[in-house]
Amino acid sequence: MSEGETANDAASAASAVRHWGVGRRLAVMIVITLMPLGLLSMQQTASVTREVSRNAEMAAMGATVRAAAPQIRLIQRGQASVATLAAIIEPFVADDAACRRIMDQIKATEPAAALVAYTPLSGQMTCGSDGSRFDFAGNPLFQRLIEKPEPMIVVNPQGPVSGTAVLGIVHPVFNALGMQIGIVSLSLRHEAVSQADEASADLAASRPVALITFDGAGNLLTADTGLDQAVLQLPRDRGLSDLARNQVQSFAGQSVSGNRRLFSVVPLAGDVYLLGVWRSSTEETLVDPDIAPYLLPGLMWLAALAVAVFAAEYLVTRHVRMISQAMLAFARGNRGRYALHLSNPPAEIEDLAEAYRTMTATILRDEAELENLVHQKDMLLREVHHRTGNSLQLIASVLRMHLREQLDDATRRILENLHARVMSLSTVHLSLYRIAGESRISVHELMADVIAKVSAIHERYARAGSIEAELRPLVLATEQAVPLALLLAEVLSCFPSSDARPDDPPIRVTLDRCDEGSARMRISGPESARAILAGESFDAPTKIAARLIRAFVSQLGGEFTITGDAGEVVAEVTFLIRDS
């Protein structure tokens, strides 16, 4: 891009800014002024929103822990029962009947238990509650439990004895020598572990949308809403296995069903985790939490813009617009709509309106004075043309009187030419008398009057109809129309009428435009006028005629040429059309 184009672009941009209205400029200034406050408000609102979100997440975590309290107590009771059982069962392992009675007693104390059993290292479980028996030899889970002699909690989606999902609490059994001889286990039904305690005062006050248990592999175990509905309450963008790896956590997000929820994860025992799904505090709000930090600054800016536009319109723009319309109407010449009536304008605008009224009154008064002067000038100019025309006619009458008394032919020809010239000039002035005061004149009409008068003079010498005219419409300024008419009258006076012969060609006058900027007048007639037009005659009147023709052509600003042959002469003037 060149430097010139860059400068033009900059000028265009500056011009666009300069043409902004008061309301728009005021609105931009208010927005810029309020921007620091708006940014500060956005920052504070965002900080408060984040703090509220953190508090909500912590509250959800605490509520989830409270909701999981019954399950935790259930597991703790099971751990205590298994530990006690492992400490006392060693003397009874050889007596299956006594061992089963103890297992039945333990199960009776815990309604959630699906199975209480002692299993030796051989895997042959013969001591189980309700007389249950099972061979765990070769079972991978059993091998893992006996290989690591320590208390454990495991999840089995399909218990081999109970046939249901169970949470197993396992404790190793040692003999008097401290050697492991087997394990005791308490299998809790998983649905009992996942169910909330409806009698809990905490849950009665605030119940979660769903309580879901899952294992470390991400398997959905149980849910108080049912497994079908539980899938819809899971986090949309996080898997259960990811939640298990992160242990205790709380976060907000979208559920699979599309609702905004608070999620809290609490480990229950071993590889079992509890997911609490809670309603978000913003779930029923009208404004999205992500938009909330920007809402107040946005509303503040919009309110400021509305106030700025309204204030600019009410206080300034409407008054300025009325003044502008009145000034424009006055400038265009509409004197009927320039009156200005403002409704309760500010003092500064009222001063401006008063200045406008004073200015228009002064202009109207000056215009009236100028119109009077122009009218007086037109009247004087008309009077000048009228008196000049009358004086020339008087001179023509005197010449006519001398012509009637003159017997010498040479003198009569001179007087006839002078008489024709004076009458032509009189015609021009009388025509100007009728159109005095006009800045532009229809030249073809003025020339038609001159031709008519000269034709009337020729009729006196038996040359009726000897002038043919072809005049195209042409409008010129006064300073060109008058010299052109006088030039036409002077050229026509150069064609003698007293000594005309029947075989002479007629006098032809044409007027037309050459192009958009110039015009041409062409006069042709008998060859006898060539010497007079060219100034080659030796008598004084013809020399005066040639000089007058050159003077009128000079005033017209044109070029004069004389051509012709075969008994005909052509006088042609070409000139540029000037504006008035």
Answer yes or no: same fold for 71-193 and 376-576.
Answer: no
DSSP-derived 3-state class of residue 537: coil
Sheet harboring 260-269: ordered strands across?
220-223, 210-215, 272-279, 260-269, 249-254
DSSP-derived 3-state class of residue 55: helix
pLDDT score for 346: 83
The two three-digit tokens of residue 514, written as one number = 């050459």
The CB-side HSE value for 1 (13 A sphere, CA atoms) comes to: 8
Q: Which helix (H) or strand (E) holds 383?
A: helix 347-405
Percent of residues in the chain assigned helix, strand, coil, to nearest 5: 55, 20, 25
The CB-side HSE value for 62 (13 A sphere, CA atoms) comes to: 8
At residue 100, does pLDDT exceed 80? yes
Q: Which segments of 406-442 does DSSP mark as H helices, in order? A: 409-435
Domain 71-193, classified CATH 3.90.1150.10, yes or no: no
Average pLDDT over residues 126-130: 85
Instruction: Give the C-alpha separation, 481 to 448, whole Å.
Output: 13
pLDDT score for 156: 75
Contacts of 310 (CB under 8 A, 6+ apart): none
Note the residue count of the chain.
580
Average pLDDT over residues 503-510: 84
At residue 464, does pLDDT exceed 90? no
Looking at the DSSP bridge assignments, the partners of residue 266 are: 274
pLDDT score for 289: 62
Average pLDDT over residues 273-287: 70
The two three-digit tokens of residue 321, written as one number = 């617009």
Alpha-carbon Rg for the chain in angstroms:
61
Closest CA to 524 of 509, 542, 535, 511: 509
Instruction: Give the C-alpha separation, 11 to 18, whole Å.
Output: 10
Average pLDDT over residues 430-447: 74
Instruction: Please give the DSSP secondary-structure letter assigned to residue 218.
Output: -
Closest CA to 507 of 558, 551, 470: 470
Q: Let me know: does 187 contact 176? Beta carbons within 8 Å.
A: no
Question: Which comes out higher in pLDDT, residue 163 or 399?
Answer: 399
At 167-214, the pLDDT tens digits run 788 889 998 888 888 989 888 876 666 554 443 434 434 678 888 878
Sheet harboring 127-128: ordered strands across?
127-128, 113-120, 180-189, 166-174, 152-156
Instruction: Give the C-alpha separation, 136 to 170, whole Å.
Output: 14
pLDDT score for 197: 46
Instruction: Give the C-alpha separation, 298 to 397, whole Å.
Output: 96
pLDDT score for 357: 86
Query: Domain locations in the chain?
Result: 3-59+291-322, 71-193, 376-576
Instruction: Please give the DSSP secondary-structure letter assigned to residue 506.
Output: P
Contacts of 34 (CB under 8 A, 6+ apart): 300, 301, 304
Q: Let me know: does 146 contact 180? Beta carbons within 8 Å.
A: yes
Tell me the pLDDT band of 580, cut-offs 50, 70 and 90: low
Three-class secondary structure assignment of 108-157: HHCCCEEEEEEEECCCEECEEHHHCCEECCCCHHHHHHHHCCCCEEEEEC
Looking at the DSSP bridge assignments, the partners of residue 166 are: 156, 189
The architecture of the domain spanning 376-576 is 2-Layer Sandwich (3.30)
Average pLDDT of the chain? 78
pTM passes above 0.85: no
pLDDT score for 3: 52
Q: Which residue has the tokens 């509305």?
A: 306
Instruction: Give the C-alpha separation, 455 to 463, whole Å.
Output: 8
Q: Let me know: does 472 contact 435? Beta carbons within 8 Å.
A: no
Tell me the pLDDT band of 510, cut-offs 50, 70 and 90: very high
Q: Let me know: does 423 contact 445? Beta carbons within 8 Å.
A: no
Closest CA to 276 of 56, 57, 60, 73: 60
Write b or e for each residue in 249-282: b if 16 or more Cβ atoms lie within 10 A of its Cβ, otherwise e: ebbbeebeeeebbbbbbbebbbbbbbbbbbbbbb
Three-class secondary structure assignment of 282-344: CCCCCCCCCCHHHHHHHHHHHHHHHHHHHHHHHHHHHHHHHHHHHHHHHHCCCCCCCCCCCCC
Three-class secondary structure assignment of 57-73: HHHHHHHHHHHCHHHHH
At residue 12, does pLDDT exceed 70? no
Our measurement of the distance from residue 296's CA atom to the centroid of its chain's CA atoms, rounded to an integer in Å, reads: 24
Tell me the pLDDT band of 452, cut-offs 50, 70 and 90: confident
Cβ neighbour number for residue 510 with a 10 Å cutoff: 15
pLDDT score for 7: 52
Amino acid at residue number 216 = G
At 57-96, the pLDDT tens digits run 777 777 777 777 777 788 888 888 888 888 888 888 888 8
